[in-house]
Structure 1
Amino acid sequence: MTDDKHHRTGTFRSLRVPNYRWWFLGALVSNIGTWMQRIAQDWLVFNDLSHEDSTAMGIVMALQFLPQLFLAPYAGLLADRSDRRKVLFLTQGAMAVLAALLGVLVISGSAQLWQVYVFALLLGIVTAIDSPVRQTFVSNLVQDRDLPNAVALNSMSFNSARLIGPAIAGLLVAAVGSGPVFLINTVTFLAMIGAIVAIDTTRLRPMPRVSRASSRLRDGFAYVRSRPDILIVMVGAFLVGTFGMNSAINIAAMATSEFGYGANQFGFLTSAMAIGSVSGTLMAAKRERPRLRFIFGAAGLFGLTCLAAAASPNVVVFAVILIPMGLASLTFITSANAYVQVSTEPHMRGRVMSIYMAVFMGGTPIGAPVVGRINDLWGARWGLGVAVAAGLATALLGFLWYWRSQHLHLTYDRSRRGFVRLERDADYAPITAALEVQEPR
């Protein structure tokens, strides 16, 4: 065991836990394969099967994330009732089989767009079951005090893979096509399955036993309604997840229609965004418990960086701006995820996280086709404009909620000309702050 001081300050402290270390390494290898497959799938649809149709990409994303809306809450029940390790073994194996089947279709030259649609839907069904269980399984691996750190390191693993996988996939797709990339992803799933097998079950943290009578789905929704802080985070996650996190569509459209580049450059642009994403997860890993102001501030920064990206005059500027965009987006995602997990009672964590995943990822079937259609009708820069609106609206919503929850109001201070005082209502603890303004005429 590590001492308390290390637990308070170590950015990589969760890696001292052997079970979590196995999990982290297996996920890193598997995530590299997953990101390679994402680039291959996006390019297969966008370039090979639909001839640069952003709407087709939006449909694929919608089908892949649609099951989150309907299945994720029930997967949360599964996470609270079942052996999470066994569930993950089955879901990871199923995803490996799906990747292998699509790889064979592409290599044989028989892949058609409708088959990719079916693949996306099936993958979405498995992912809808896998995601809440995978998110909550982390709490079996580490102590509660290390949970925000472990969540952040999970995101770092995912985005380190995002830095590596797309760059490799871009080179492979340009050299040999997308088919072999799907087969490589099948192999990388074996690393995750191996890590699950290697985990020492005697050292897993036992979770509170939840009976079927006490683990009702509606209890999860009731719990979220009773927690305004969690509810506002979920509303923000829905806005950003639905209308902001469509980087695959936006980057592909900007790379081809605005800058005239191909698969190789598409992969490297995705990796550029991942540089910022890794930085964002490292920032989140250092924080013991994310604050709401930090979460909504990151959403505002995301909106501003999307605005700068939409105005990029060339691909170099666009690639550079993708770095802070990735930082802001992953700071928001990681911090919101950690806040919801840490703030939720352990016996409710599976259901609450499944609701969070449903609103965050389940909105993609709404947002992705909309963004894809906007790209087709008015261009890639307007598609990024949707992300601008999502980020800034989330930041504004968070600010207004914080203002109301803290019972704040502004009062013009006539004793000090040109000052407005920030105060709490009389029934609440006072706050001292002043802002200089022009005296009203």
Structure 2
Amino acid sequence: MIGGLVPVPDPAPDPSKGSDQNNPDCVPATDQDGGQRSIFSDRNFVLFLVGQCITTQGLWIQKIAMSWLAWSLTGSALWTGVIAALNFAPAFFLGPIFGVMADRVDLRRTAMLLNLGQAAVSFLLMGLSYADMMTLPWMVALAGSMGILGSAMTPIRLSLVPVIVPRAFMNRAVAYAAMNFNISRLVGPAVGGVVIATWGTGAAFMINAISYLPMVFVISVVTIHMERAPDAKSRRIWTSLVDGANYALNHPMIRSVLALSCFVSLVGTGMVELMPVFAEAVYDRGVTGLGMLASSAGIGAVTSTFILSRISSDAIAYQKVTILGAFAAAVGMTGLGFAPWYELAVPLVALTGGGLTLVGVGSQTALQLTVDNRLRGRVMSFWSATSFGGMALGGTLLGAISEAGDIQYTARGSGVLILFAACVGLWRLYRIGALARSGALR
């Protein structure tokens, strides 16, 4: 027991669901001939994955456009970090509250409304950019608006995957959805760099605005395979939030994964948000150099998928992947801090990007495969709060530190800290393995 909180017991079986044969949640993963069915034979999942791919690519194209625009307007690493932080900081402060709501609301209707809201903000960004009316106050206001809408959408999105596919496909669906999002996080900025260099930031904002529309259509037509068991709406939000925090804090694997993911986001992904500073201030390569650095991070992310495609579908395996990614990111980030030439920085950013992808996919999937379905929205909101909140806080703090000194010194320090966190994570993994062998996790 931690801080007087009592672990949430496993839910009792719902007799209304009947047997596995009558429950669409338990559709077998075999075809009529007894062969193994592919997850891509499931219409719901294919539609959702395609829609998510389009939307998340647009999202990260916009993120880098906002970072570049902030740097162009201010020439300040601090303000570049602040604008990046505003895209993610609401997830830290409001994410857990939105997680409680995700366990209560109509997922389909809420997801459609949030996507339309994000599209509206992106169209406003596009208009201001094309009209050459963008100012720092506008950027602060609109980045904050996108951050609030995004922090509300994240637990909804993470809760959607398990309810649109049969249980037999859930492990693979969660893994593919996590890979898609985290690869987009690194490939999207690469595409964004090319778009900005060719057509300007207005085009990047327009692409993102349009990218939400396919997802609205997808959400409106997918079939829900199972009904979740949400908390009674009369229950207080604070009580529900405490239940979720209690569950996460008292589960060794969830606690360990959340801690490592948060720390890597704080000192690793936060540094990646400052790539415009590396491209311009360190290597004097401008937006073209930024596009190349972002592209190399994307190549690292794609390379990571070859590792991820060979991972067995169990939570421990994905926790190992998370730790491996932290070690890779530590090496890449430390090397970047010492790299005197742009040509050397490119492969080091690729290594960093690949490592961060492994951390992002590994941590998210490990949690999805472990969490009690009644608490999924809340626990996954803790993941988004620690991941995106860490990114926001890290981008701001690292930007401020870099403003006062050399950004490469900051990168070296970040790499060393990630290495330390990876070592702690490895030690925790052995501890969790010992608990599992003793039966303490059952």
Q: CA deviation at 1:25?
A: 0.8
* Separation (CA, whole Å) in 2 of partners of 1:428 and 1:30: 44
* Separation (CA, whole Å) in 2 of partners of 1:236 and 1:199: 34
Q: CA deviation at 1:254?
A: 1.6
367 and 309 in structure 1: CA distance in 2 versus 1, 3 angstrom threshold = same
Map 1:50-199 to 2 at 5 A. 50-51=74-75, 53-159=76-182, 161=184, 165-199=188-222
* Separation (CA, whole Å) in 2 of partners of 1:372 and 1:364: 12
| 2:67 maps to 1:46 | no
Q: Name whichever of 94-103 and 156-165 sits farther off.
A: 156-165
* Separation (CA, whole Å) in 2 of partners of 1:155 and 1:54: 30
Query: Contact 1:96 / 1:187 at 8 angstroms: preserved in 2?
Result: yes
Please point out which of 415, 423, 436 is paired with 1:396: 423
213 and 401 in structure 1: CA distance in 2 versus 1, 3 angstrom threshold = farther
Q: Which residue of 1 aligns with 2:314?
A: 289
Query: Contact 1:9 / 1:286 at 8 angstroms: preserved in 2?
Result: no
7 and 248 in structure 1: CA distance in 2 versus 1, 3 angstrom threshold = farther
* Separation (CA, whole Å) in 2 of partners of 1:8 and 1:303: 42
Q: Per-residue CA shift, 1:93-152, capped at 9, x if unaligned?
A: 100000011111111111101110111111111111100110111111223453342233
Q: Which residue of 1 aligns with 2:270?
A: 246
Q: Which residue of 1 aligns with 2:334?
A: 307
Q: Secondary structure at the match of 1:81?
A: coil
Which amino acid counterpart does residue 290 of structure 2 have in structure 1? Answer: F
RMSD of aligned Cα (Å) = 2.7
Query: Contact 1:106 / 1:178 at 8 angstroms: preserved in 2?
Result: yes
* Separation (CA, whole Å) in 2 of partners of 1:63 and 1:304: 28
* Separation (CA, whole Å) in 2 of partners of 1:169 and 1:336: 26
Gaps in structure 1 of 5+ consecutive residues: 409-426, 430-441
Q: Which residue of 2 aligns with 1:206?
A: 227
140 and 286 in structure 1: CA distance in 2 versus 1, 3 angstrom threshold = farther
Q: Which residue of 2 aligns with 1:219?
A: 243
Q: Secondary structure at the match of 1:329?
A: helix
Q: Which residue of 1 aligns with 2:302?
A: 278
Query: Contact 2:296 / 2:347 at 8 angstroms: preserved in 1?
Result: yes
Which amino acid counterpart does residue 303 of structure 1 have in structure 2? Answer: A
Query: Contact 1:249 / 1:372 at 8 angstroms: preserved in 2?
Result: no
* Separation (CA, whole Å) in 2 of partners of 1:54 and 1:377: 10
Q: Taking structure 1 as the reference length, what is the TM-score of the superposition?
A: 0.84
* Separation (CA, whole Å) in 2 of partners of 1:319 and 1:7: 48
Query: Contact 1:162 / 1:271 at 8 angstroms: preserved in 2?
Result: no
* Separation (CA, whole Å) in 2 of partners of 1:168 and 1:58: 21
Q: Which residue of 1 aligns with 2:53?
A: 28
Q: CA deviation at 1:181?
A: 1.9
* Separation (CA, whole Å) in 1 of partners of 2:150 and 2:42: 26
Q: CA deviation at 1:300?
A: 1.9
Which amino acid counterpart does residue 174 of structure 2 have in structure 1? Answer: V
* Separation (CA, whole Å) in 2 of partners of 1:8 and 1:386: 51
Query: Contact 1:251 / 1:269 at 8 angstroms: preserved in 2?
Result: yes
State, as a whole percentage, how many aligned pairs show the same letter.
24
* Separation (CA, whole Å) in 2 of partners of 1:172 and 1:50: 21
Query: Contact 1:144 / 1:342 at 8 angstroms: preserved in 2?
Result: no
| 2:256 maps to 1:235 | no
Q: CA deviation at 1:191?
A: 1.5
Query: Contact 1:152 / 1:282 at 8 angstroms: preserved in 2?
Result: no
Gaps in structure 2 of 5+ consecutive residues: 1-27
Query: Contact 1:40 / 1:182 at 8 angstroms: preserved in 2?
Result: yes
Q: Secondary structure at the match of 2:39?
A: helix
* Separation (CA, whole Å) in 1 of partners of 2:35 and 2:266: 34
Q: Which residue of 1 aligns with 2:401?
A: 374
283 and 85 in structure 1: CA distance in 2 versus 1, 3 angstrom threshold = farther
Q: Taking structure 2 as the reference length, what is the TM-score of the superposition?
A: 0.84
Structure with the greater alpha carbon radius of gyration? 1
